[in-house]
Amino acid sequence: MKKVLVLHTGGTISMTQEKDGAVGLSASHPLKESMDLIPDNVEVVVEEIFNLPSPHITPKEMLLLKKRIEKAQTQNFDGVVITHGTDTLEETAYFLDISFKKEIAVVLTGAMRSSNELGSDGLYNYVQAIITASDDKSKDQGVLVVMNDEIHAGRFVTKTHTTSVDTFRTPTFGPIGILSKRQVIFLKEVVEHHALNIESVDGKVILLKAYAGMDAMLFDVLKESRVDGVVIEALGAGNLPPQVITSLKELIDSGIPVSLVSRCSNGIAEDIYDYEGGGIPLRKMGVMFVKGLTGPKARLRMLVGINARLSHHELRQFMTE
């Protein structure tokens, strides 16, 4: 018998649609009645840890989930399933991936259609997530996201469509597994990466997106405000418009860590160009190039690094490894 802890956190998977089409919180959790569909060899323990639409979730709720999973690791559970709103699901998945050492499977799932909508995907994804979490193969793959018969690494998965049930994709690398009608099939192994152990999520790390004609004012404002770190979604391979460089340099020289990812949805940021604002001068100036993460995930990575009290040098290593 396998034992899986389910943590409901809210989102569309826990919502219902009204007659006028508006989707909102449900009085009682729609997945409550689903026990008959769970495989006989799995014992499920259900907790509603909170009930929030995922745009309301902050690193504080993510930390709460981390602590509950750490406790579950001492309570003989084989895995944990977290049901979550899809808007920020990838951020919670990534936070859990890098903020503690996992000994059991951790799987996140959600729904794009609420419980009483035609073609609702919540119950299906929920059962598939439980099957995945109870499978021995899921233990050493980092935090997983199961949606629409696919298994994605929490580290790289992202929501790509506003409403389609086929919204979660892993650009560049693809899903790491699938769920067939009969089994959980992994197609790839996630390369192990080191997680830090944190007990707090304090500090302000700001995310900015670069654009043609970007205004230096954004960096001047950040220099005057009390921020603890900045992540930039830069252009292409990792470049910025020249007019922001002086202000950016002043920000870095004032001791604020600055990291960069690409705003492109595929590929990784690297220092390739040597013109003003190009990646080579940016790296020499002290900008930390992050490999393959989206901006929101790189922002969480810096927040975790700061809360692990890494030195400047250690934070640089953590952000660029």
Catalytic residues: 12
Cβ neighbours of residue 28 closer than 8 Å, sequence gap 6 or more: none
Number of C-beta neighbours around residue 64 at 10 A = 15
Site mask, ligand ASN, residues 27-66, x = CB under 6 A? --------------------------xx------------
- Of 67-75, 81-89, 233-241, 299-307: span binding ligand ASN (CB under 6 A): 81-89
| From 80-88, 168-176, 184-192, 267-275, span contacting ligand ASN (CB under 6 A) | 80-88
CB of 16 to ligand ASN, least distance (A): 13
Nearer to ligand ASN, 161 or 309 (CB): 161
Give CA 294 to chain center in angstroms: 9
What is the Cα–Cα distance from 157 to 162, expressed in whole angstroms?
A: 15
Number of residues that bind ligand ASN (CB under 6 A): 10
Smaller CB separation from ligand ASN, 54 or 307: 54
Would you say 138 is a known binding-site residue? Answer: no
Q: Does 87 show up as a binding residue in the annotation? A: yes
In whole angstroms, the minimum distance from the beta carbon of 116 to ligand ASN comes to 14
Closest approach of ligand ASN to the CB of residue 51, in Å: 10
Least CB distance to ligand ASN at residue 56 (A): 8
Decide: 279 and 273 in contact? Cβ < 8 Å. Answer: yes
H-only helix segments in the chain: 59-72, 89-98, 122-133, 217-224, 245-253, 279-285, 295-307, 312-320
Alpha-carbon span 311 to 301, nearest angstrom: 14
For β-strands 42-48 and 23-25, DSSP reports them as unpaired
**Contact string (CB under 6 A) for ligand ASN, positions 83-112, x = contact:** --xxx----------------------xxx
Residue 11 contacts ligand ASN per CB under 6 A: yes
Torsion, Cα 252 93 152 141, to 10 degrees, reads 100
The residue with its CB nearest to ligand ASN is 85
Least distance from C-beta 174 to ligand ASN, angstroms?
22
Query: Is residue 114 marked as binding?
Result: no
Measured in residues, the chain has a length of: 321
Rounding to the nearest 10 degrees, give the CA dihedral for residues 23, 144, 303, 111. Answer: 0
3-state secondary structure of 266: coil
Note the residues at the interface with ligand ASN (CB under 6 A).
11-12, 53-54, 85-87, 110-112
Binding-site residue set for substrate: 54, 86-87
Binding-site residue set: 54, 86-87
